[in-house]
Amino acid sequence: MYYVQPMLVTDTAEKIKKMEIRGAGRIARAAVTALKEHSDTLSLKDLAEYRKEMSNAADLLIATRPTAVSLPNAVHLVMRTLSREIHSVSTAKEEFARACESFICTSESAVQRIGEVGARHIRDGEVVLTHCNSEAALECLLDAHRNGVNFTVYATEVRPGNQGLLTIKILNDAGIPTTYIVDSAVRYFMKEVDRVIVGADAVSVNGAVVNKIGTSQIALAAHEARTSFLVAAETYKFAPRTILGEFIEIEERDGSEVLPDTIAKTLPHITVRNPVFDVTPPEYVDLIMTEEGAIPPQMAYIIIRDYLGWEIGDFGARQFNPLTNNCFN
């Protein structure tokens, strides 16, 4: 039988590309969900063919967005089940489904745990600034609010995607007093801010944080004002390959997201650049809150080695270990 890309895999890949599904954690879970359904619906009897089909689907999903390391990490984490010794397609499917369910459950509980860890850093009367729309960062705010801590929030607009609108909706629904500001007003307000809390798309071995464009400017303003800068990131957002000195690719999207084509075509000498992420150096990060606890950025290597299971010298020889608080352990 020949490879037929099922609708769910191609649909999910398209939605991730177009950012209809977005957020580093969400795209990881969406990709794993699509792979599970793909596996469930395959009617192949030959194990080699089944593995090949799954591997093609995995490649297609990984290629959708280059920066969020959560996506390849999640896909590799579930795909490693298929590289073990298995003797039948039905066993492979069962083990694969189990790995996918485990990843999704683990990923969701990691966000809850990060919320608990992060909430401890928010105190009565504080002003917290957040940028973009990070589930993990927002969970810190929501958890603190549920614990009865009274604080207010500055939320940025997040041009050009306006993810700030999603954030203010969530904060509004929770009843957290929030002020919505344009991205360029961050430094103006920073003197009033006690703590910045943002999410991450990737964390490199040296503790540098890749997050939505503008994050590094916010970190710079926070550093200048001596404001604490916290990052909320699940361990599967740490990038093992940076151990080898590999850089995390920064996605650059179409200029029409910034300047509509109707205007751009009247300005033939103007070029638009639209990088979606930037890199905040570890010197500007006070703590990274993970589901394993809060760590200084300098401890990123430990997370990669102990929780993701990669070590220098190990590349190619070893695959990811299951996440430690795996829901099925």
Q: How far is the CB of 201 from ligand RI2 (least distance, A)?
A: 5
Among the options 132, 140, 143, 286, which is catalytic?
132
Q: How far is the CB of 28 from ligand RI2 (least distance, A)?
A: 8
Q: Select from 237, 228, 196 the least CA-distant residue to 215.
A: 196
Gap between the Cα atoms of 147 and 47, Å rounded: 51
Strand 195-198 versus strand 202-203 pairing type: unpaired
Q: Is 201 a catalytic residue?
A: yes
Q: How far is the CB of 26 from ligand RI2 (least distance, A)?
A: 6
Among the options 100, 140, 201, 286, which is catalytic?
201
Contacts of 318 (CB under 8 A, 6+ apart): 309, 310, 311
| Assigned token pair, 284 | 């500007």
| Assigned token pair, 317 | 């020889």
Q: How far is the CB of 160 from ligand RI2 (least distance, A)?
A: 11
Instruction: Measure the CA angle with vertex 13, ends 74 and 103; round to 5°.
Output: 20
Do the beta carbons of residue 254 and residue 198 sit within 8 Å?
no
Contacts of 248 (CB under 8 A, 6+ apart): 67, 69, 202, 204, 210, 239, 242, 279
Cβ distance to ligand RI2 smaller for residue 35 or 69: 69
| Assigned token pair, 296 | 């200084």
Cβ distance to ligand RI2 smaller for residue 137 or 190: 137
Q: How far is the CB of 254 from ligand RI2 (least distance, A)?
A: 14
Cβ distance to ligand RI2 smaller for residue 242 or 290: 290
Cβ distance to ligand RI2 smaller for residue 92 or 222: 222
Contacts of 77 (CB under 8 A, 6+ apart): 99, 103, 236, 320, 322, 323
Under the rule (CB under 6 A), what is the footprint of ligand RI2? 22-26, 132, 134-136, 163, 198-201, 211-212, 276
Q: Select from 226, 234, 222 the least CA-distant residue to 118.
A: 234
Cβ distance to ligand RI2 smaller for residue 53 or 234: 234
Cβ distance to ligand RI2 smaller for residue 211 or 242: 211
Q: How far is the CB of 163 from ligand RI2 (least distance, A)?
A: 5
Gap between the Cα atoms of 86 and 92, Å rounded: 6
Q: Is 143 a catalytic residue?
A: no
Cβ distance to ligand RI2 smaller for residue 69 or 86: 69
Q: How far is the CB of 276 from ligand RI2 (least distance, A)?
A: 5
Q: Which residues are catalytic?
A: 132, 201
